[in-house]
Amino acid sequence: MISLERLMSRFETMAAITAPGLPGINRLAFTDSDWQGREYLMSLMRDARLSLHVDSFGNVIGRRAGKDESLPAVMFGSHGDSVPSGGNFDGVVGILSAIEVMQSLDEDGITTKAPLECVLFMCEESSRFGAATLGSRAMCGELTEEDTLRYADKNGVTLHDVLMSRGLSPASLASANYLSYHDALPRAFLEVHIEQGKVLDTSHEKIGVVTGIAAPTRMRVHIHGSADHSGATPMELRRDGMCAAAEAILAVEQSANEASGIATKKSDDENDKAAAPASRPPVVGTVGVVEAAPNAMNVIPGEVTLGIDIRSIDYDAKRAVVDKIKSRIDDIMTRRGISYDIEPISDEKPIAISKEMVDFLSSICEEHGVAYRAMMSGAGHDAMHWAERVPTGMLFIPCRDGISHNPAESAKPEDIVTAARLLEDAVKKLGNT
Ligand SMILES: [Zn+2]
């Protein structure tokens, strides 16, 4: 049986595994606290009598044998890392409910026809290396050793070095590919996750059955202004990187607003217009990173780097916004006489979840008498890599006020347990058909 008490005590243990002295949860990928969380989750997998496989990227698969071991496995799980000063539910809800399902099946003596695999993905969050879902990418054969040399954290430490320091093997990253040690991909992949938005919390439905996942296009814009004396340089002789960056940031907002049918917020009147429902698929644009050098009061900012993230469920709408942003940035920099370059980080395709899977998970919600809604995911998840390859489903639970990536992130125990029960039922059904 899925146990609320056991699940809650495990959330408490995970909450205590965080880098000290910082607000919220801090388990940045491959740091000591992330590694400690991974050790704990592995111990829970062993408690559930799973046989563990660790791949060359550090992903952990806990397997429960099926009656017919020649069948492809049903896989389910999530990630254990966090953003800086994040919450204890993003990722954790998915991996702890997956382990709970395995524990429950073991206690109830249930063996499915197909083997079951509970998976802990490493490095889902992009906070450390600027790229997300790296563990899933490794497992899907989409991450190379060259990539690990290219990705570095803000201290300049490469992912390659980080993997080596954890005793992992970036040189044999190809062996992390699921198909390098299995004849076939899993027959299905399932992930439970907090919604990370306000839709369910506002509508009071208990479960979101995900119909598609918006995927990010990310880039860094390096603006090469001139770092001159802030007192001795008259205004007309400046090439201020930060002022150019400020215009570029607003160009991102304006471009995403226009694509979403929203007036850019300038006055109360226009804010009223912004409240009108958008008829087009929404595109969201964010500049979440601004780095200025030399970052001194008495120097005009020269080198400025912006980190831009654009998302939509509609790839063409997203592409159009990216193109618009690039052309606006070009106009701004040309007008200001400032050179710049754009470093592409990622350009991922939004993912559609199959109607069969949406219907399957919806029917399970109905059987359990759980109020649910079919909905899109605005955030990216490990599941998107699997959805391109195998039947994939996601269940969302509400999070309080839609807050996520924040110490205030919170989900109700009863919603977590509901999701774990639905997951168990889905896994049993998929494992026996
Ligand atoms: Zn997550």
- pLDDT, one tens digit per residue, over 321-368 is 999 999 999 999 999 999 999 999 989 889 889 999 999 999 999 999
**pTM for the whole structure:** 0.80
Domain boundary among 347, 378, 399: 347
Residue 156 Cα to ligand 1 midpoint, Å, equals 25
Residue 69 Cα to ligand 1 midpoint, Å, equals 30
Question: Are the C-beta atoms of 382 and 218 separated by less than 8 Å?
Answer: no
Residues 378, 389 within the same domain: yes
Residue 201 Cα to ligand 1 midpoint, Å, equals 18
In 3D space, the residue among 217, 290, 295 whose CA is nearest the CA of residue 248 turns out to be 290
- pLDDT, one tens digit per residue, over 204-242 is 899 999 998 988 899 999 999 999 999 999 999 999 999
Alpha carbon distance 180, 140 (integer Å): 10
CATH at 160: 3.40.630.10
Q: What is the pLDDT of residue 314?
A: 86
How many folded domains does the chain comprise? 2
- The DSSP 8-state label assigned to residue 121 in this structure reads E
Residues 203, 255 within the same domain: no
Residues 17, 153 within the same domain: yes
Residues 151, 266 within the same domain: no
Residues 420, 378 within the same domain: yes
Residues 315, 289 within the same domain: yes
CATH at 249: 3.30.70.360
Residue 413 Cα to ligand 1 midpoint, Å, equals 18
Range of the domain at 355: 4-214+351-432
Residue 256 Cα to ligand 1 midpoint, Å, equals 24
Domain boundary among 347, 381, 414: 347
Burial of 84 (0-12, 13-18, 19+ CB in 10 A): middle
Alpha carbon distance 49, 37 (integer Å): 19
Residues 145, 257 within the same domain: no
Q: What is the pLDDT of residue 278?
A: 46
- Local confidence band at 261 (pLDDT 50, 70, 90 cut-offs): confident
Residues 221, 358 within the same domain: no
Residues 230, 173 within the same domain: no
Residue 62 Cα to ligand 1 midpoint, Å, equals 19
Cα-based torsion angle of the residue sequence 321, 322, 324, 326 in order, rounded to the nearest 10 degrees? 160
